[in-house]
C-alpha cells in the first residue's frame, strides 16, 4: 500500500490526518500510522520550470 499524508489535519479528530490512497481517494487515519510523506515547495508566480521532466534522471530545473 502506498498511502501518503497530506498536510491538512482532520478537524473532526485531533489525532486524525488526511491521506491519499494509491487509487487517489482521500481518507483520514490516526497520525501515528507510518504512511509516507514527501517534501513540497511553494513557488512564487514568477518562478518557471526551465528544464527537466521531474524524473530522477532529469529533475526539474527552475528559474526566475
Q: Quick: pLDDT tens for 5-28.
A: 777 777 777 778 888 888 888 888
This prediction's pTM: 0.47
Query: What confidence category does residue 54 fall into, taking pLDDT thresholds of 50, 70 and 90?
Result: confident
Residues in the chain, total: 64
Residue 15: all three cell numbers together: 489525532
pLDDT at 33: 76
- pLDDT of residue 60 exceeding 60, the answer is yes
pLDDT at 47: 92
pLDDT at 43: 84
Phi and psi at 36, nearest 5°, equal -80, 160
Would residue 52 be called left, alpha or beta, if left means φ above 0 and alpha means ψ between -120 and 50 degrees?
Answer: left
Amino acid at each position: 500500500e502506498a498511502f501518503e499524508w497530506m498536510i491538512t489535519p482532520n478537524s473532526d479528530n485531533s489525532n486524525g490526518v488526511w491521506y491519499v490512497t494509491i487509487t487517489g481517494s482521500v481518507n483520514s487515519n490516526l497520525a501515528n500510522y507510518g504512511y509516507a510523506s514527501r517534501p513540497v515547495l511553494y513557488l512564487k508566480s514568477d518562478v518557471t520550470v526551465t528544464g527537466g521532466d521531474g524524473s530522477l534522471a532529469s529533475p526539474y530545473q527552475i528559474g526566475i
